[in-house]
Structure 1
Amino acid sequence: MDQTDPQNVSLQTLQQVVDFLTAEALALWAEALRPWTTYQILIALGVFAVAWLGAAVLGPRLNDWLRSHENAPRWRLRVGLMVQRRMRMILFVVLIWITYLVMKEFTWASRSFLLRVLANLTTAWLFIAFATRLIQNPLLRFIARYGAWTWATLSVLGWTEEVQVWLDAVAFTMGETRYSLWLLVKAVVMLMVMLGAARLLAGASAASIKRNEDISPSMQVLAVKVLQVILFGTAFFVAVRSVGVDLTGLAVLSGAIGVGLGFGLQKVVSNLVSGIIILLDKSIKPGDVISLGATFGWINALGARYVSVVTRDGKEYLIPNEDLITGQVVNWSHSNEFVRLDIHFGTAYGDDPHKVRKIAVEAAKSVDRVLTFKPPVCHITGFGDSSVDYILRFWIRDPTQGLTNIRGNVFLALWDAFQENGISIPFPQREVTMLQGSELMTKALD
C-alpha cells in the first residue's frame, strides 16, 4: 500500500486522532474516579447552588432598578439587562475563582485542578456571551457564539492541535487545491470577522451619508447600497483569499451559474436594474406622495427589489421597481410640494353667480391647509338641468397629510357659507301628473 497516498495519510491521521481521544477519555475517567476529583465536583455544585440563590435574590432587585431608571442612556440599560440575564453565570465565575484561589493556597495543585479548568472555561464563556451581543444578525451571532465557545473549550482542555489535525485530515482535492474541514472552519471565521468589520464600516458610513443634507434622499440610498455592495463583496473575497482558496478555478463555474440565474431570475434582475435607474434619475424618493393605479400613498423606503408605499389607512404596499419604470406614476411632490385640488358643486339659478364665486373663494381660504399666497379661484363650468355648475380650485403644500380630508373640509366650509348667505344647493326633483279619468285621479277625487 502506498503510504504517500493522500487518502491513506488521512486515514492514518484519523486513526491517530481516534486513539488520542480514546486515551484522553480513559484518562478523564481515571481522573474522575479519584477522591479529590469527586470533592471538586461537589464543591463546584455547591458554588453553582450559591450562585443560583444569589441570582434569585439580586436579579429582581436589578430589574426593579432598571425599571426605575428608564430614562437612563440606552447603552446603560442594555448592559444592565445583559447583566441581569447572566447574573447566575457572573456570580458563578466570581465564586469559582475565589474558591479556586483559596484552595490553591491551602492544598496541593492537583486537588484544585478541576476547579481551575471550570474557572477558565466559565470565564471564557461569559466573555464570549457578552462580546457576541455586539453582532446584530441573529444567525451570525449564533454561529460566532457557539463556535467561539467550542474553540475556547478545546483551548482550555489543550485539545486544539489534535482537533486541528483531525479537521485537516478530512479533505478532498479539486484540481491543484486541497479542501479540508480545517480550511472551511478558517474560511468561516475569517468571513465572519470580515463581514462584521464591513458591517460596522457600512453602518458608520451610512449614518454619515444620511446626515449630509447636500445629498438628495435618493442619492443617499444609492450611495449607501453601492457602499454596502463594495464592502461586503470585498470582505468576502479577502476572507476567501486569506485562507488560501484559489478563486480562479471558480471563474468558469460562476459564469455558468450567472447564465442560469440570468434566465431564471429575469424579473429579479429587472427589478434590481429598475431600482438603480430610479435612484439615478431621482424620479421618486423617500417621502414623495405617489399614485399608481388604485394605490395612493407616500414612499416609505426604496429597496433593491421593491418600493414600500404606505397609504393613509396604514397599509404598506411593496410595489416592484419594474412597475414604477414601465407604468404611469403620478408623483404629487416630484419637482415641488405644491398640489392643486379641484372640487365641483352647483347652485340654484336664482342665486347670483358673482356672489356665489366670491363666497366660495372666501370659504376655501378659511380652511387651514389651503394656501393663501396661491389664492383659490372659482369658475362657472356650465349650466346644468337644475343648477349652475362651478369648479373651485385651491392649492395645498402637504399632500402627505391626505387629500380626501382637505376636500371634505372645503366642502363643509362651502356648506356653512352657503347656509349663512342664503345660497341654495339644488337637487333633482320629479313631478307626477295624474291624467284625467285615470284610476288614480278617480281615487283622489273620491
Structure 2
Amino acid sequence: MNGADALERLFDDFQRSSSWTEFGLIALCLVLAFLITRGLRNKHGSTTSVWLGPTTLSGALFPLLWLILVACAQALLSRFEPVFWLRVATSILLSLALIRFVVRVLAKTFPESTPARLFERIFSWLAWGVAVLASLGLLPSVMADLDSVHIPLGKTSLSLLTLIEGVVSAGLMMVAVLWAAALFEQRVLNQVVHDLSMRKVAMNLMRTVLITVGLLISLSIVGVDLTALSVMGGAVGVGLGFGMQKIASNYVSGFLVLIERALRIGDNVRVDGFEGKITDIRTRYTVIRAGNGRESIVPNESLITQRVENLTDFDQRFALTTTIVVELDSNVEQVTQLMLAAARAQPRVIDKPAPSVLLDDILAHGLQFTLTYFINDPGNGQGNVRSAVNIAMLAGLREADLRLAVPKQRLAWPIEAGAQEAARSEPAPPAAKNGAAPTGHA
C-alpha cells in the first residue's frame, strides 16, 4: 500500500467512524486508568518506583493502563463499525507508555547523567514520529523504503531498517535490563543482603550478566549470527591483555575490594595522605569524600597494591592524629599531659577509647610526640575537631613555656652563609716579606 492509498483509507475511516462514541470510550478509559492507578498508590503509599512515580500521573503505569483499555475498546468497537480516533489514541498512548517507561528508568538509574538526558530526547522524538506515521497508516511504506536502502559491510550488506531495528531493540533491552536490576536490588538484595559492600558486589555481577544476555538476545532478534562474535571476543581478549590491562586490573580490583571487605562503603580511610569517607566503590575507581566536601577519585588497583589506612573501627569510631616535635630538654610528662588535656577539652572527642600520647621518636633536634583521639560522628567533619585540638595544644605549650623544635640545619645554613659572605667582603691582608707574618704596622 502506497502513501496515497493509506491516506485515502484513513480519510474514509474518519468519515464513517462515530467520533462521539470513540471520544466517550477514550474518556471512560482515561477515568478507569486514573482510578486504578490512584488506588494502587493509596495501597502502597508514597513511592518513587518506575510504574507508580511520585504522583498519580507521573508513573509509567497510568499510560500503560490507559493504552490497554483503549486497545480493548478498539478491538470490540472495530467488530461493528470502522474506528479512527481509537486507532490514533492507541498509537499515541503506546509511544507515551514507552517514553514514560524509558525516562523513569533512566532517571532512576542515572539521576545526574547528561548522556542519559540526551538519549531520552532522541528516543522521545523517534517514538512520537513512529506514532504519527502509524496513525496516518504510512508506517508500512516508510519501513519498506528503509528496507530497500542497503549499507555494504565487507562482503555482506545490511539494510537501513535492520540497523535501526537493531539499535532500537538493543536500547530498549538495556533499559529493560536496568529496570530489572533495580527491581531485583529493591525487592531482594535490600532485604536479604544487609552488608552494603556485598550488596554492591551482587548488584554489579547481576547487572553485568543481564546486560550481556540482553545484548545477545537483541542481536539474535535482528538476525545477527552470534557465532560471528567469537572473532570479536578474541580481539577483546587481546585488547584486555595489552592495551586495556589497567582497566581490567581496576575492574577486578574493585570486585576484590568488595568481596574481601577489607574496605567497605562508609569506612573512613587515608590513601596517599588524603583522608575521607568511602562514598562509592565503582567498577574502575573508588570515591573518597573528605570532611570539607572535596572528593578524591582513587583507582581500585591502588587500594590493592598500595598502603591504605582504615581509620574506621567496626563501631564507626574515627581516629584522628596530631604529631608535634618539641625541644630535647622538654619535660616528657608535662608535654603528654598538655596534649591529653587539649583532646579531652573537646566535646566531640569520645572517652572510650581514651585519647593517648606516644613518644614516637627521639630525633637529633627534638622529641616527637603523636596524639591519637577518636570521634564517633565523622559525618559532621573532622577538620574542625583537629583544628580545635591543635589550637588548645598550642595555647598549652605557650603557657608552659615549651617550644617546638626546629631542625638544626635550618638554623646553621643562614649563619654559615652570612659568615662566608662577611669573609668575602673583608680586604685581604698585605703579603709578608721573606715569609714573615705581618705585624700590622706600616
Using structure 2 for the length normalisation, give the TM-score: 0.60
1:332-411 → structure 2 map (5 Å cutoff): 332-333=311-312, 337=317, 339=319, 341-344=321-324, 361-378=340-357, 391=369, 393-398=371-376, 399=378, 401-411=380-390
- Report whether the alignment pairs 1:162 with 2:129: no
Measured against aligned partners, the alpha-carbon deviations of 1:248-302 in whole angstroms (never above 9, x if no partner) come to 1232244235424643333322322222222233232222222222422222211
8 Å CA contact 2:325, 2:404 repeated in 1: no
Identical pairs, percent: 25
Give the distance between the partners of 1:175 and 1:357, measured in 2 at CA. 79
Amino acid paired to 2:96: A
Q: How far apart are 1:160 and its partner, in Å? A: 3.7
CA–CA distance in structure 1, aligned partners of residues 360 and 220 of structure 2: 74
CA distance in 2, matches of 1:182, 1:407: 65
The answer to whether structure 1 residue 291 and structure 2 residue 244 are counterparts is no
For 2:279, what is the secondary structure of its paired residue? strand
CA separation of 1:128 and 1:389: change in aligned 2, threshold 3 A: same
In the alignment, the residues of structure 1 paired with residue 404 and residue 3 of structure 2 have an alpha-carbon distance, to the nearest angstrom, of 96
2:234 is matched by which residue type in structure 1?
A: G
Using the alignment, how far apart are the partners of 2:381 and 2:210 within structure 1? 40
* Residue of structure 2 in register with 1:248 after alignment: 227
Contact 1:367/1:413 (8 A) holds in 2: no
Between the aligned partners of 2:359 and 2:287, the Cα distance in structure 1 is 41
CA contact (8 A) 1:369 1:406 kept: yes
1:49 corresponds to which residue? none
Unaligned runs of 5+ in 2: 16-45, 60-80, 107-116, 406-442
Q: Tell me the alpha carbon deviations over residues 334-364 of structure 1, each in whole angstroms, 9 at most, x when there is no partner.
A: 7664526344476998x98767755654553
Letter of the 1:169 partner, please give it.
S
The alpha carbon displacement at 1:412 in A equals 4.3
Partners of 2:99 and 2:127 within 8 A in 1:
no
Q: Which AA in structure 1 matches 2:282?
A: G
- 2:111 is matched with none
1:260-339 maps to which residues of 2 (within 5 A)? 260=239, 262-333=241-312, 337=317, 339=319
Separation in 2, partners of 1:212, 1:129: 33
Distance in 2 (CA, whole Å) between partners of 1:252 and 1:275 is 28
Contact 1:151 1:160 in 2 (8 A): yes
CA 157–22 in structure 1, closer or farther in 2 if over 3 Å, else same: closer
- Aligned pair in 2 of structure 1 residues 130, 158: CA closer, same or farther (>3 Å)? closer
Deviates more, 1:263-272 or 1:389-398: 389-398
Instruction: Tell me how far apart the structure 2 counterparts of residues 382 and 267 of structure 1 sit (CA, whole Å).
Output: 39
Q: Secondary structure at the match of 2:147?
A: helix
Task: Give the SS at the match of 2:242.
Answer: helix
Q: 1:201 to 1:408 in 2, by over 3 A?
A: same
Residue 184 in structure 1 maps to residue 163 in structure 2 = yes
Cα deviation, 1:133-164, whole Å, max 9, x if unaligned, reads 22144355345433333333333223343334
Could you tell me whether the CA contact under 8 Å between 1:172 and 1:179 is conserved in 2? yes
CA shift for structure 1 position 226: 0.7
1:235 Cα deviation from its structure 2 partner: 1.1
Q: Aligned partners of 2:228 and 2:361: how far apart in 1?
A: 77
- Aligned residues of 2:169 and 2:218 also touching (Cα < 8 A): yes
User: Within 1, Cα distance between the matches of 2:359 and 2:231?
Assistant: 72
Letter in 2 for 1:128: S
Structure 1's 375 and 193: CA in aligned 2 closer, same or farther, altered over 3 A?
A: closer
Matched with 2:99 is: 132
Partners of 1:127 and 1:372 in 2: CA distance: 64
The answer on whether the counterparts of 2:6 and 2:136 sit within 8 Å (CA) in structure 1 is: no
Q: Given residue 373 of structure 2, which amino acid in structure 1 is its aligned partner?
A: W
- 1:221 CA drift (Å): 1.5
CA distance in 2, matches of 1:360, 1:213: 46
Deviations 1:216-250 (A, max 9, x none): 32222121111111111111111221333211123
Q: 3-state DSSP class of the match of 1:300?
A: strand
* TM-score, structure 1 as length reference: 0.59
